[in-house]
């Protein structure tokens, strides 16, 4: 199931009574950019999505999944929530339903050939673990680059500037676990 992130951002902003000016001041992004994201004219980067969610005082995850009670859940493949970022060339699949008590966020991230998540990630508290499931991706941590082959794993502090870039011949997919929940 695809999610229109722009519509969700606008809905949350209006529910909280924030103006574009309010969100702009808190996030550091222009009113014009936020409006273009809300109207679906621009796909937000992961970094901009995190900053806008912070400005709205919500977990980014809240923008994708409906709130649920803290009970065991099963998410069927066809029912996973998905979001396109990075100009539509990166797909993030949420592998769990939302609960307030959730401590980890497991994700599948698929990056088209030659595309990347962007290099502006980082500055967040917490940890990230990733396993390369398909294809090859270059993981940049700070300024050091690591090529991940199928089956390779990486573990790092989320505060370290990082990004994934597909350097393979087709789509590349990684399984990531982020803690604490913020996506």
Looking at the fold, whether 107 and 172 belong to one and the same domain comes out as yes
We report the CATH number of the domain holding residue 112 as 2.60.120.10
Looking at the fold, whether 174 and 109 belong to one and the same domain comes out as yes
Starting at the edge strand that comes first in sequence, how are the strands of the sheet with 144-148 ordered?
A: 144-148, 137-141, 162-166
Residue 183 confidence (pLDDT): 47
Most confident stretch, 16-20, 84-88, 101-105: 16-20
* Residue 31, domain extent: 5-63
Helix intervals (H) in the chain = 5-15, 20-27, 31-38, 46-55
53 phi and psi, to 5 degrees? Answer: -60, -40
Looking at the fold, whether 53 and 117 belong to one and the same domain comes out as no
Looking at the fold, whether 117 and 172 belong to one and the same domain comes out as yes
Residue 70 confidence (pLDDT): 53
Residue 68 lies in a domain: no
Comparing 84 with 148, the larger pLDDT belongs to 148
- SS3 of residue 123 by DSSP: coil
Residue 91 lies in a domain: no
CB atoms within 10 A of CB 143: 7
What is the number of structural domains in the chain? Answer: 2
Residue 57 lies in a domain: yes
Residue 130 lies in a domain: yes
Are 97 and 74 in contact by the 8 Å Cβ rule? The answer is no
Residue 89 lies in a domain: no
We report the CATH number of the domain holding residue 59 as 1.10.260.40
Q: What is the pTM of this model?
A: 0.62
How far is Cα 44 from Cα 30, in angstroms, rounded to an integer?
A: 13
């Amino acid at each position: 199931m695809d999610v229109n992130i722009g519509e969700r951002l606008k809905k949350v902003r209006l529910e909280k009574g924030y103006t574009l000016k309010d969100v702009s001041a808190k996030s550091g992004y222009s009113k014009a950019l936020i409006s273009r994201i809300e109207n679906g004219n621009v796909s937000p980067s992961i970094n901009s999505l995190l900053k806008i969610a912070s400005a709205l005082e919500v977990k980014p995850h809240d923008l994708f999944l409906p709130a649920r009670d803290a009970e065991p859940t099963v998410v069927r493949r066809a029912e996973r929530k998905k979001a396109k970022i990075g100009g539509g060339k990166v797909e993030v699949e949420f592998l769990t339903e939302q609960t307030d008590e959730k401590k980890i966020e497991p994700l599948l991230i698929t990056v088209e050939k030659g595309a990347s998540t962007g290099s502006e990630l980082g500055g967040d508290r917490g940890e990230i673990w990733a396993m390369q499931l398909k294809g090859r991706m270059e993981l940049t941590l700070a300024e050091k680059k690591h090529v991940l082959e199928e089956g390779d794993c990486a573990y790092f502090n989320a505060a370290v500037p990082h990004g994934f870039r597909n350097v393979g011949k087709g789509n590349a997919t990684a399984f990531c676990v982020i803690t604490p929940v913020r996506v």
